[in-house]
Amino acid sequence: MIHVGIVDDDALVRRTLTDLLTTEAIGDIQVDWAARDGQEALDILRSQTPEAQVQVLLLDVQMPRLDGIALAKILQRERPEIAMLVLTTFVADSVVDRALAAGVRGFIAKEDPVETLAATIRHVAAGNMVLSPSSSAIIAGRPGRSTPTTSAPPATAPHNTADALPPGVTLSPREIEVLALMAEAKTNKQIAHTLGVSDATVKTHVSALIAKLGVQDRVGAVVYALRAGLV
């Protein structure tokens, strides 16, 4: 069972997310509590109660007393084992950068369907870093962006323009394919299956992309690609 805490100052959002995730259809996710701001969540997490032992936190950004980014910074030091997901409706570039620096493992849109929400929670609980498709569109500034639903790789790769990449950096067509599939929140295993290569090969491509783009992790690479229009 994956134990989850929700931190949002909107009572309707807290209730809706709790109700969506607390169903027999989900089964493996349990919402242990919902806090109205970061300070209330921090008090729970610093307590000696069973409720303090959540594995995943869903965080709003703007909240009174203690906002989501400030809470994430504290938990990065005190409870680094907790996977943190930012709940998005609109996210400025500066907020994305601060969230990633604070140890956030991914972003999900508040309007995401429950199946996507549950899948994203499972991914980060397993140690992965992901963006849901809707949150990818929000970060890219393209709210209407749709993602492919077939298992086939992209037919054509986006143009690798010089101004979209760090100086002196180029990406191979295969790296662009991997990056595009990363942006669809696919795991290394799923990418390997889609492209017909080994998990180790995908891991090598992901490591190369992180190094070439000058980012710290998988989500940083996807965020860079979305902003630069590479995918």
Predicted pLDDT at 17: 92
pLDDT beyond 60 at 137:
yes
- The per-residue pLDDT for range 15-67, each reduced to its tens digit, is 999 999 988 778 899 999 999 999 999 999 999 899 999 999 999 988 989 99
Confidence of residue 97 (pLDDT cuts 50, 70, 90): confident
pLDDT beyond 60 at 145:
no
Predicted pLDDT at 19: 92
- Least Cα distance to 231 among 167, 169, 142 occurs for 142
Domain assignment present for residue 110? The answer is yes
Predicted pLDDT at 143: 43
Confidence of residue 92 (pLDDT cuts 50, 70, 90): low
Residue 168 lies in domain: 162-228
Predicted pLDDT at 150: 30
Domain assignment present for residue 151? The answer is no
Q: How many domains does the chain have?
A: 2
Domain assignment present for residue 154? The answer is no
Looking at per-residue pLDDT, the higher value among 7 and 26 belongs to 7
Please, what sign has the CA dihedral across residues 146, 150, 156, 162?
positive
- The per-residue pLDDT for range 151-195, each reduced to its tens digit, is 333 333 444 444 578 788 888 889 989 988 887 778 888 899 999
Strands (E), 36-131: 56-59, 83-88, 106-109, 130-131
Looking at per-residue pLDDT, the higher value among 150 and 59 belongs to 59
Pair (176, 90) in one structural domain: no
Percent of the chain exceeding pLDDT 90 equals 42
Domain assignment present for residue 25? The answer is yes
Confidence of residue 146 (pLDDT cuts 50, 70, 90): very low
- The domain that contains 30 carries what CATH number? 3.40.50.2300
Pair (120, 167) in one structural domain: no
Cβ atoms of residues 99 and 69 within 8 Å:
yes
Boundary residue ending a domain (140, 172, 198): 140
Domain assignment present for residue 148? The answer is no
Looking at per-residue pLDDT, the higher value among 215 and 132 belongs to 215
- The domain that contains 223 carries what CATH number? 1.10.10.10
Is the pTM higher than 0.85? The answer reads no
Tokens linked to 202: 């995908």
Pair (184, 84) in one structural domain: no
Domain assignment present for residue 50? The answer is yes
Domain assignment present for residue 145? The answer is no
Tell me what the pLDDT averaged over the chain comes to: 83
SS (H, E, C) 5-45: EEECCCHHHHHHHHHHHCCCCCCCEEEEEEECCHHHHHHHH
